Amino acid sequence: MVSIAINNSNSTTFDASIINEAITGYFAEDRWSALNCPLLKDKWMGSKDKWLVFETFRSESLKSEVKYYFYSNLVHNSLSPKTLWRSYSTILITLGKFLNIYYPNLKSLIELPLEEFIGQLRVYMISIGKPVEKKRYLTESNSRWQSSGTSESMGLTAARSIYNYLYSVFNVKPETELDRWDVRKLGLDFNITSGTHHINFNLIPSNFKEFTKSYFKLRLIDHGDLSWASAVYHMIILRTFLAFINTNYPHWCDLKNLSRADILRYIEYLRIQPMGGNSAKAGQKPTEKYIYRTLSATHSFLQYIQTIGFDEAPDKLVNTLILLSEDVPRQKRRNEEAIQYIPDYVWEQVVENISSMASDTIPIILVLEATGFRICDVLQLRQNCLLEQEDGFWIEGRQRKTKHINHKVPVSKEIADIIKSQITFTNEALPFEQNKQNYLFPVLTGRRRGIPPLNSTITRRLNDMAFKCGITDINGNIYWFKSHSFRHRYGVNLVNNGMNIYHIQKLMAHACPEITLHYAKLHDKSLRDAWENARNSTAIKLDDNGFIVSSNIESAASENGLELEWIRHNLDSVRLDHGYCIKVPSQQCDYLETTLDPPCIKNKCRSFHVDQTFIDYYQKQISIMQTDINTYNNTGRYRSIEIIKPRLEKFQKILERLLNNQPLLGMNKSSREYVANERSSGK
């Protein structure tokens, strides 16, 4: 029989009384039936009974620990009965036999280091023909964010989950002395919607582990100059760097002798080593951005431990080891075109298909679009976020990135009603004891019950909808949603609606106006594109007698040199429902109050211009008038037909020209620059 000596490095308190009080009656049995489980609120819906079998565990203490894991998940509804009885049950017989053979004298599972436990279990499972990996199947929607390949089998995942739960319950060591830190036990502020709770120092070479832990303790806890999200990212960088050093210098316990030559070899290694992780970029050639971020984080680490005075720090100045101006690729300056916002064309498709999404996701998407909040800030809204003031409704919430505590933005009554309904729904579905933080969008079941969903969950659901419903961009390609694109949409819409930069900066809680100016520049580009489209198209206008004649914007510009520039800067303000009114502000409209019909058409105004963007308007109006004429004809209202028919004919003529790619434009210099009495005096 093979057995392994136990390295009892983990300090634990095995409180058998906690387990013994729970594991009684039904749970004291070694076979748990799904049909007879007293903790299942709903009857087992499987076609036949399922069993959790604990009979293979010879050690009563180990058996009780594993039972306690399943018992706790049932009590707290952390895992579904389906997961426990159908998925996690598969590891029980194998786990019992493994512990009997390899660790016959083990009293508690967490006396073992996690990596040793999983590593040895993996070897055993391979030896008996049990799967240790599963193929990662990609769908059309997840192929952009996840790589193909394999991941840990369900059996190993279950074993890891059992260990981690027991460790969290019975370990008594301070968190910073452990090899795996849980941010929830460190008392640090962190983004609860990211789903990243741990830093695992077991992934760092053992000879570098302790001073790496000291580095993170200083920055995270003592000095507080590193956020949890940054710490997680730095850990990924450091395990790559320190593993490289350990491979080349396996006897090193510090970085004192680190040289410029070592750094150059590391840079060469980075450039030929494919990127890792589970993202869609895994296995691809390293990008310049990846090289930049990796070297910058490595430089930051080395410089910090040298400045603080770590004994393990390099003897040579870090700035002579990593030359930022030469080694780190220069990043391209972000331009306005890089801002990926959701255009109206796409948003209209979202609204049309939003009912196909999960019902708990719909209000999140609507609030995300209406507020301009980052997705993590929307998901962490509390139920008291809705304010009703004399001037209307506002949503108030925290802006994590810029540390605004009570940031608020105005919202419509429709959004306010959605939030009120969400509050009612949440309180009916989840008692306060299970939502003590009073979240507006808590998960209702499972491990995350009572806390918000993950950012990634919402984004994946959006992209699943895009593929399922065929939501496309302007080129007909399936649209790829990124959660931050909603925030960019909000900013672009504010600029397009004429709000000044200062107010936009305030509404979006930007730290500086330079960020907000990106939206203004993007708006200028959109205006330019619209202007160029109008400039390059053929056109029509109304002549002095009100007849439709051909024209073009270039000929109008040749008569007055400022025409093109003036129109370009006023394209939004001169647009009406039925066309453009191209006149200077000093010229009054003579027809504004003379008719209920559009005065520009009724009075044959020469400042009236139309292009193909108004086709929908004219088609809709013609349809309405034709319906009205049929109604009047059936009811004998012939006078009404006489009144409406000339307008219908005029609209039909305009539509015919537009459909033939002949927009209506044109205006001469005197008409644009002088008011009526000035024209008659010959100025």
Q: pLDDT tens, 466-517? A: 999 999 998 899 999 988 888 888 887 777 666 666 666 666 666 665 665 6
Residue ranges of alpha helices (H) inside 537-613 are 553-559, 563-569, 599-602
- The reported pLDDT for the residue numbered 86 is 86
**Cβ proximity of 416 and 386 under 8 Å:** yes
Where do the domains of the chain lie?
14-172, 175-332, 344-482, 569-678
Please give the share of the chain, as a percent, with pLDDT higher than 90: 36
Residue 650: which H helix or E strand, with range? helix 638-659
Residue ranges of the chain whose pLDDT lies below 50: 1, 6, 11, 527, 530-531, 534-535, 538-540, 553-554, 556-569, 571-574, 577, 584-586, 591-596, 666-683
- Amino acid type, 468: K
**How far apart, in whole angstroms, are the C-alpha atoms of residue 196 and residue 190?**
9
**How far apart, in whole angstroms, are the C-alpha atoms of residue 409 and residue 393?**
9
- The reported pLDDT for the residue numbered 16 is 74
215: how many CB neighbours lie within 10 A of its CB?
21
- Amino acid type, 178: L
Nearest by Cα to 448 from 61, 77, 57: 77
Q: What does the CA dihedral 315, 316, 317, 321 come to, rounded to 10 degrees?
A: -130
**How far apart, in whole angstroms, are the C-alpha atoms of residue 305 and residue 321?**
14
CATH topology of domain 344-482: hpI Integrase; Chain A (1.10.443)
**How far apart, in whole angstroms, are the C-alpha atoms of residue 441 and residue 450?**
9
Nearest by Cα to 91 from 53, 134, 123: 53
Report, in this order, helix, strand and coil percent for the chain, each rounded to 5.
Answer: 50, 10, 40
Q: Tell whether pTM > 0.75.
A: no
Phi, psi of 243 (to 5 degrees): -65, -40
**How far apart, in whole angstroms, are the C-alpha atoms of residue 670 and residue 42?**
81
For tokens 């809204």, what's the residue? 381
276 three-state secondary structure:
coil
282: how many CB neighbours lie within 10 A of its CB?
14
- The reported pLDDT for the residue numbered 490 is 82
- The reported pLDDT for the residue numbered 508 is 66
